Structure 1
Amino acid sequence: MQRRPHPRRFAAATLAAALLAVFAPTASPTAAAAAGETPAAAGDYCAGKCLDVLPPGENGNATLAEILLNKVFGSRPAHTDDQLGPYANLAGAYPQLTEAQLRSFFNDASFGVPADQVASTTRPRSDVAIVRDKATGVPHITGTTRYGTEFGAGYAAAQDRLWVMDLFRHVGRGQLSGFAGGAAANRQLEQSFWQAAPYTEDELQQQIDAIANEGDRARQALADAGAYLDGINQYVRESYDGRYFPGEYDLTGHIDAMTNAGGIEPFKLTDLVALASVVGALFGSGGGGELASAQVKLAAEARYGTAEGDRLWSSLREADDPEAVLTLHDGRRFPYALPPDSPQGTALPDPGSVVPEKTVYDATGTGTQGATTAPGLLPGNLLTAKHGMSNALLVSGAHTDDGHPVAVFGPQTGYFAPQLLMLEEIQGPGISARGAAFAGLSFYVQLGRGQDYAWSATSAGQDITDTYAVPLCTTDGGPVGLTADHYRWHGQCLPMERLERKNSWKPTTADSTAAGSYTLVMNRTNYGLVTARGTVGGAPVAFTSLRSTYRHEADSIIGFQMLNDPGAVHDAAGFQQAAQNINYTFNWFYADSRDIAYYNSGNNPVRAPGVDAGLPVRAEPAYEWRDFDPAANTARYTPPAEHPNSVDQDYYVSWNNKQAAGFAAAGFGNGSVHRGNLLDDRVKALLAGGGKASRVSLTKAMESAALADLRAEDVLPELLRVVRSAPVTDPSLAAAVQKLETWRAAGGQRRETSPGSHAYADAEAIRILDAWWPLLADAVFRPGLGDALFGALTGAVQINESPSGGQSGPTSGTASANESIPHKGSAFQYGWWSYVDKDLRGVLGDPVAGPLARPFCGGGDLAACRTALLDSLRKAVAQTPAQVYPADADCPAGDQWCADSIVQRPLGGVTDPKSTWQNRPTYQQVVQFPAHR
């Protein structure tokens, strides 16, 4: 927890904690360890060859006494961080990894718990048992009835993640500040989620009511969710009465540590929809960058004229780049959202006219006098900052050591303490699965394994969100201005729907000076939520965001239910059928003993002919989604066969890269260099010359990519070729170039000199490239782009995404000025890697498929390009470590390893140590099934 209670409250809390530590129970009476037989494990066909890991640890609840002991003595509750060490240590040990060592870095993900490994058995009802193992404390839930099974899942979720669940049901409603305090980051975060998914309570309930009409599976899912909530609420009651609830409720003033006055609000079905909206907004949406794209197009036209400017804009967009690494490399095309030859209905804003929609009203105490200086519980830009996530490597049985497929895959959901995900095993009538699920939505395993198959996902991000330019109007005949609250819809002038959320907070921390409040407002139209205003051809418009999954975040419940049902998933076809019932934009992967498979999910709207999905569209019937119904926010969607899909390709890799040829990338910069290349190149090398992959070799390939600097591996060679095209006579530059060459020859990785040294091998070369990249991007492109286009392009795709997030270059006020969330692990997803690579290869005379529309570095002249690179390198070499790695809340200035390090960002009162940087999934499975049902 990063907030301190008022000093008098803190003193009382400390005294109460001392009493609690001695006298209060640490588990409910129903949760005491019980002797006797444990429920039999379900059919498990993995034979011990399924492994997983999820740092920092399964236990995410701590009492007030445990939190204070952590602060004072550094002690932690059991299973709080026992998966962090194995996860972190793979970075240093992977080159020598053996089959026998895999379990040193991953947990046994077999079903059930051997009798001698049972730590406790909880029986919250007679029809369910929650068995926790000694090694990790993961709950293994076995029920004899469906209701009891799901009740147990809810009870176990509350045991492990009650505070996180409560936190995120408030985030999903845009109410974090009132629950966790008015820190600036808390307010920023709730504002961003409110802008993405503003719902009334009635609208949350409407999603539930809509599901109830979708058939037997949907009705069963709602029954499962109800039982799950009953389990959560039983634990809430028991923990409150027994005073062993999470201590964060004391520290935030929701419960009085001395008297126990206060309480925890019961959970209800609409909370689950709010939680699902958070997951959907973070990981399952795509598109929505049309205004940024339009700004690039307009700036390019202003600099180079309409024809040449449009060619340049199109080449920078890289919607279907022929050099992009593909998940499906079998030659098939899956056309979707491709730019049309003759766009229809495009609505470009007048230059300089766009103004973001005001969302905060009636603010009191939110300025200097009222904002806390404490950081928020979550990054304020958790939703708004671009960040990549998740990867997958799968090899078919035809290319493995024992003839059975191998998969190493998992999601990258960020690093938090406790995690947003939790591990669990659920066994009951119609359910048989083990894996990870988002806290508060764990009535089904969302990523994991069944009896004889495993599945995982990466964020796909295809374009399911469009921007419409909606004409503003008045009903009184008066002039129309940008502040008008009516809009044109099919010839009518309709009022915008004003959605409001009143938030207020109290001064609950020692460094808060005043209470505060404000009202969050979003205006909604039939064409979606108003995000900005401006003019098109001089006429005032509202720019709206229309997302196909808006008002439908709960619909995916059916697909997840099917993935957990051994009766629904027998093979690759059953897996793909289940994935088709998930409307979020994910790449889904599957492996059993015979097949590997892939399916890209999402409600992909069918657009009107000629509409360019990458630009704002005129709000007229001719340019609406086909069969669009604004009342339900439904439309016609592309059929499953048109979604990228495959069974038994030789291998699949995914790291949020392009899915297939013809499947347009949403946004900019998905071209010749992408971090997906790091996986693709390594798997190709494994299989070259008839090579066979194994669990060990595929894990090593993943971890090698996790430590690679994408720029060093795939762009630095061209940079060095240009620089070495003539002798480097400046001694300081020659020395820098030599260090870069040595590092690149050694693999271009960011690895410690030895495990735990907290110092990089090739540290100087790494520092030089970190400093050089934003400077060289500026030197290569700003002269040709000009300031306006350069700034517009950084607004569409940031220049850099380094591990530390601290090198944003000489720009100001653009996306690259806040390139990433620091200490987040995930890196190299977004950047100008492809632009630099294509441009330099063109300067060098190499063939380039899908080149940029014009040369940039030195205007295409090799000697001039070399001079520009050396001048920028000279500036980079002159930067001190403190300049390259500025201080932040976690690290002193100049500490390279610390700047890169992963921080398990505290969501509660217990903190965890930093770990060395690696770019890999948060939750990860290593699986190879030897048998099938």
Structure 2
Amino acid sequence: MFGRLRILMTAALAVACVVAGLPASAAPPKPAAATDYCQGQCNDILPPGENGNATLLDILGNRTIGTRPAHTDDQLGPYAKLASQYTGLTNGQLNTFFDNSSFGVPADQVASTISPRSDVTIVRDKATGVPHITGTTRSGTEFGAGYAGAADRLWTMDLLRHVGRATLTGFAGGAPSNRSFEQSLWAGAPYTEQDLQAQIDRLASSSSRGQQALADVNDYVAGVNAYITQAVSNRNFPGEYVLTGHMNAITNAGSIDPFKPTDLIAIAAVIGALFGSGGGNEIASAQVKEAAEARYGVAQGDAIWQSLRMAEDPSAVQTVHNGQSFPYGQSPAHPVGTAMPDPGSVTAQGLVENPTGSATNAKTAKAPAKAAQQTSGKKPNVRDLSSVKGIFNDGVFGPGFAQGVKHSMSNAMVVSGPYTDTGNPVAVFGPQTGYFAPQLLMLEELQGPGISARGIAFAGISLYVLIGRGQDYSWSATSAGQDVTDSYAVTLCEPTGAPVTQNSLSYLYNGQCVPMERLAVHDAWAPNTADSTAAGSYDLVRYRTKYGLVSYRGKVGGQFVAFTSLRSSYMHEADSILGFGEFNDPSVITSPQAFQRAAADINFTFNWFYVDSKHTAYFNSGANPLRAANVDPNFPVQAQAAYQWQGWNPATNTAQYTPASQHPQSIDQDYYVSWNNKQAAGFAASDYGQGSVHRVDLLDSRIKAMVTSGQKVSRASLAKAMEDAALTDLRAEDVLPVLLQVLDSAPITDPDVSAAVAKLRAWQQAGGKRQETSYGSQQYASADAIRILDAWWPLLVKAEFSAGMGDSLYQALASALPINESPSGQQNGDVGGGSSLNDTQPHKGSSFQNGWWSYVNADLHQVLGHPLASQLGTTYCGGGNLASCQQALVSSLKQAAAMPATQVYAADADCSAGDQWCADTIIQHPLGGITDGKISWQNRPTYQQVVQFPSGRG
């Protein structure tokens, strides 16, 4: 290890000497800042820091003596400290925990000024190093966006374009986590190069805005490539290219492939599949219904399935709560065309074919029921990032990342003017997109003709600000996840007349036996001793039909079928560029209604929130397909013309979609909250379990208390409410009270159980926080109560439901909705048994989205004899008998209380067994050579704005 480090250090020093001898270009004058109506009342934060590029010398210095480039972690500390210092927060203190997001840079705060082209200037500020890009032409502005984006995230951009083409392992190494990640992402968005180019071509032939967007793409790519050329010439390119064998630190031999417009589509496809899609769970839903009917009979089983589905639960918090209804995605009374799989016949369609070497023995990720791709071109024979021991031994994306990355995320709290301290709306909102070093997101300010915005964008598609603020308005989004993905059962056939099998590769379409389209990419990787990865290769394969991508195979009515996944935004990830471009244009966004019209141009499934000095607004975006009459979107559908989407055209992957007027929306409601919850009445929840307990309750209860009490909401008080919710265990606040009621229904004679109940009660009454005793203590207050609940939750769920449901229904429901998503991500449904009935990705921050919170709450209320408005179709705990239920809870609690911390919090690569605080911690998962320290858990957006505009243009 150290011999190789010395060689690389010598090379890096040589590079540094070459770079030091380069002449410096004269700094051009700083352009004037755009008009900013926020007047210092706009703040934001994005940990760990803006600078995501590090030379080889930077990386080696960080790994050996702990040095780091400027602005790689300067936003991490303020972000972390809010968790322990928020209770007395004032407006004047917001700048301590958030950065000032005003337009422009004061003269005394300018750190650097460059003009990579004569029509653009990039100014970086001293405090954060954020690029402030001003162009005298639109072309120059976009060129500067590409140049600055590459300067801050070139290596990350390169990773993402390879992920989008399923060539990550050949580029960055064959570590199992890299393979799992590229498989899980490629399954949802597989494209040929022709498919990617077709999206570019469609922009060129669309509206004038589409043509402008394509011109912006080309200028952005030109800026990226200009930076690559300069970085290679100056030898200050990211050091990861050396560590992976793409560049030679001594001779400068090698290459960094230039970017092209289709790379942006590949990256957009990854982002859209992760955060902007929804639905596609028809097979899991069908298996829950079939298990319920097998257990209870058809009539009662269907009623029980409906109650577990909770598509229209009256107890659920809704973002639009003013009485409006927006019917979509509901089950019809008399469904037609349903294709229920024969019980026990379903198997997942594999992704990997022709594995060699380490690919034959590495465990690959279970593919979600969504998509694939193909690309061409030779593969560089490179080493994994762990070729220098200690750097990325677990691969680029880290263990468990692939399994946990696909989540509904982000939250928003917005209060309209009549309820605020100044009469101007207040918002605290942001996307919850995970934690990485460097971040997948980057900050930027763009000023030029038709563009005036500051905020964040994903690396590689930062030609526009995706979420942020304009001159006198701000906007944000949460993942909506409404059902825009359906499953069709296509009947398999053999063109030769041979017997049909489960693996047949042809299917019936309009009465003809036609072949499936095979999408494939070959990926190969070199051996790497650091993580014991041998050389290997595989083909990643997806099969595409006129009804989408093959996700499962099985039988319907005894016939072999393939179950497909058809997503409305598939083949159309580029289309949303129009809406994002409009968000950045102050001549377009002149009112809340104008913002809603722009949001309607985005086909990804997002909840959009808007504030200006006078108004608030909300709009749910997405290409919601118009389904055939009486088709149930909860289950697979027969692949026949009578049951397909209205206006379906498989050649263009287009259909008829619900008009904007039918999407959930509102202007100037008293307040809005969102944490991936139900949007509005009539708008069927996409996920199971959205009932009486949901993590959005943590936001809603706090903001409602302020609004209804007459307390005027300020930026600081809303930020305090957000942080208070971010530190609260949802189970402790909203489910533990009813658990304690059941436990209190009869005397508890066991002293160990009594002691455990006392600890839980005290913690719940104190607020149910998972919070350090003081900043940096690395010890929780109420630590033992937290340990007990963490251990108890999976045990109590099993004790409450498994006997009544039976194994088949219990397992099927746990597959449709994991029973638990705790901060540590380690307590599962069968403690010690290796069960995967919950999300198991540790150190990710985002928690309590998936879980049986509503089921437990509703069932125990039924046992107590005071059922909620939402009721389960039967009572499970103790068979409905209160005494038996209490004993089941007592027994499971006794088992949990006796469980040592070393068993509750298992060891991993970052934490020792039993280290509770460490198990919960947020880790900035390394995507490059610079690493960051752990921070205490908080359930909070990754990028977050705190905004209040005192004035505006009109």
Q: Residue 850 of structure 1: CA displacement?
A: 2.3
Q: Determine which of 403, 407, 423 is the counterpart of 1:403.
A: 423
Which deviations, in whole Å up to 9, do the C-alpha atoms of 1:194-246 show, x marking residues without a partner? 21111111110000111112211111111011111111001001101111000
Q: Determine which of 430, 453, 459 is the counterpart of 2:473.
A: 453
Alignment correspondent of 2:555: 535
Q: Determine which of 233, 250, 261 is the counterpart of 2:225.
A: 233
Q: Determine which of 724, 731, 734 is the counterpart of 1:704.
A: 724
1:728 aligns with 2:748: yes
Alignment correspondent of 2:368: none
Distance of aligned partners of 1:370 and 1:678 in 2 relative to their CA distance in 1, 3 Å threshold = closer
- Mapped to 1, the partners of 2:912 and 2:161 lie a distance apart of 35
Q: Residue 20 of structure 1: CA displacement?
A: 2.9
Q: Residue 847 of structure 1: CA displacement?
A: 3.2
Alignment correspondent of 1:221: 213
Name whichever of 670-679 and 355-364 sits farther off.
355-364
Q: Determine which of 429, 449, 460 is the counterpart of 1:429.
A: 449
Q: Determine which of 692, 702, 705 is the counterpart of 2:712.
A: 692
Alignment of 1:229-628 (within 5 A): 229-367=221-359, 374-379=393-398, 382=401, 384-385=403-404, 386-508=406-528, 510-512=530-532, 514-628=534-648
The answer to whether the 8 A contact 2:578-2:601 is kept is yes
Q: Determine which of 764, 772, 777 is the counterpart of 1:757.
A: 777
Alignment correspondent of 1:797: 817
Q: Give secondary structure in 1 for the equivalent of 2:358.
A: coil
Q: Residue 187 of structure 1: CA displacement?
A: 0.8
The answer to whether the 8 A contact 2:494-2:513 is kept is yes
- Mapped to 2, the partners of 1:697 and 1:752 lie a distance apart of 21
Name whichever of 909-918 and 481-490 sits farther off.
481-490
Q: Give secondary structure in 1 for the equivalent of 2:236.
A: coil
Q: Determine which of 760, 769, 782 is the counterpart of 1:740.
A: 760
Which deviations, in whole Å up to 9, do the C-alpha atoms of 1:98-119 show, x marking residues without a partner? 1111000000000000000000
- Mapped to 1, the partners of 2:835 and 2:579 lie a distance apart of 36
Distance of aligned partners of 1:513 and 1:171 in 2 relative to their CA distance in 1, 3 Å threshold = closer
Distance of aligned partners of 1:894 and 1:478 in 2 relative to their CA distance in 1, 3 Å threshold = same
- Mapped to 1, the partners of 2:13 and 2:897 lie a distance apart of 55
Aligned letter for 1:699?
Answer: A
Q: Determine which of 8, 11, 15 is the counterpart of 1:16.
A: 11
Alignment correspondent of 2:866: 846
Alignment correspondent of 2:952: 932
1:142 aligns with 2:134: yes
Aligned letter for 1:761?
Answer: A
The answer to whether the 8 A contact 1:794-1:816 is kept is no
Which deviations, in whole Å up to 9, do the C-alpha atoms of 1:462-521 show, x marking residues without a partner? 000001110001112221111111101111111100111010111255444531111111
Q: Residue 8 of structure 1: CA displacement?
A: 7.0
Q: Give secondary structure in 2 for the equivalent of 1:288.
A: coil
Aligned letter for 1:332?
Answer: Q
Which deviations, in whole Å up to 9, do the C-alpha atoms of 1:575-634 show, x marking residues without a partner? 011101000000000000000000000000000111111111111111100000000000
- Mapped to 2, the partners of 1:256 and 1:218 lie a distance apart of 41
- Mapped to 2, the partners of 1:11 and 1:177 lie a distance apart of 27
The answer to whether the 8 A contact 1:799-1:816 is kept is no
Name whichever of 10-19 and 125-134 sits farther off.
10-19
Q: Give secondary structure in 2 for the equivalent of 1:244.
A: coil
The answer to whether the 8 A contact 1:387-1:830 is kept is no
Q: Give secondary structure in 2 for the equivalent of 1:131.
A: strand
- Mapped to 1, the partners of 2:193 and 2:6 lie a distance apart of 38
The answer to whether the 8 A contact 2:703-2:721 is kept is yes
- Mapped to 2, the partners of 1:814 and 1:166 lie a distance apart of 35
- Mapped to 2, the partners of 1:153 and 1:438 lie a distance apart of 12
1:154 aligns with 2:150: no
Q: Residue 733 of structure 1: CA displacement?
A: 0.8
The answer to whether the 8 A contact 2:505-2:515 is kept is yes
Aligned letter for 1:240?
Answer: V
Q: Determine which of 53, 67, 71 is the counterpart of 1:75.
A: 67
The answer to whether the 8 A contact 1:252-1:508 is kept is no
The answer to whether the 8 A contact 2:518-2:541 is kept is yes
- Mapped to 2, the partners of 1:663 and 1:66 lie a distance apart of 51
1:908 aligns with 2:900: no
Distance of aligned partners of 1:818 and 1:777 in 2 relative to their CA distance in 1, 3 Å threshold = closer
Structure 1 stretches lacking a partner, 5+ long: none
- Mapped to 2, the partners of 1:194 and 1:492 lie a distance apart of 29
- Mapped to 1, the partners of 2:174 and 2:251 lie a distance apart of 25
- Mapped to 2, the partners of 1:687 and 1:660 lie a distance apart of 20
The answer to whether the 8 A contact 1:342-1:610 is kept is yes
Aligned letter for 2:291?
Answer: A
Distance of aligned partners of 1:499 and 1:813 in 2 relative to their CA distance in 1, 3 Å threshold = farther
Distance of aligned partners of 1:511 and 1:402 in 2 relative to their CA distance in 1, 3 Å threshold = closer
Q: Residue 190 of structure 1: CA displacement?
A: 1.1
The answer to whether the 8 A contact 1:758-1:897 is kept is yes
Q: Give secondary structure in 2 for the equivalent of 1:679.
A: helix
Q: Give secondary structure in 2 for the equivalent of 1:556.
A: helix
Q: Give secondary structure in 1 for the equivalent of 2:122.
A: strand
Q: Give secondary structure in 2 for the equivalent of 1:202.
A: helix
Aligned letter for 1:289?
Answer: N
Distance of aligned partners of 1:240 and 1:151 in 2 relative to their CA distance in 1, 3 Å threshold = same
Q: Give secondary structure in 2 for the equivalent of 1:95.
A: coil
Aligned letter for 2:874?
Answer: R
Q: Residue 811 of structure 1: CA displacement?
A: 7.1
Aligned letter for 1:216?
Answer: S
The answer to whether the 8 A contact 2:177-2:402 is kept is no
Q: TM-score of the superposition, structure 1-length normalised?
A: 0.97
Distance of aligned partners of 1:886 and 1:18 in 2 relative to their CA distance in 1, 3 Å threshold = same
Q: Give secondary structure in 2 for the equivalent of 1:96.
A: coil
Name whichever of 456-465 and 786-795 sits farther off.
786-795
Distance of aligned partners of 1:623 and 1:815 in 2 relative to their CA distance in 1, 3 Å threshold = farther
Aligned length: 925
Aligned letter for 2:237?
Answer: F
Which deviations, in whole Å up to 9, do the C-alpha atoms of 1:726-770 show, x marking residues without a partner? 222211111110011100111011111111111100001000000
- Mapped to 1, the partners of 2:477 and 2:827 lie a distance apart of 30
1:109 aligns with 2:128: no
- Mapped to 1, the partners of 2:752 and 2:251 lie a distance apart of 68
Aligned letter for 1:882?
Answer: T
- Mapped to 2, the partners of 1:236 and 1:187 lie a distance apart of 27
The answer to whether the 8 A contact 2:78-2:98 is kept is yes
- Mapped to 2, the partners of 1:730 and 1:407 lie a distance apart of 49
Q: TM-score of the superposition, structure 2-length normalised?
A: 0.95
The answer to whether the 8 A contact 1:139-1:424 is kept is yes
Alignment correspondent of 1:654: 674
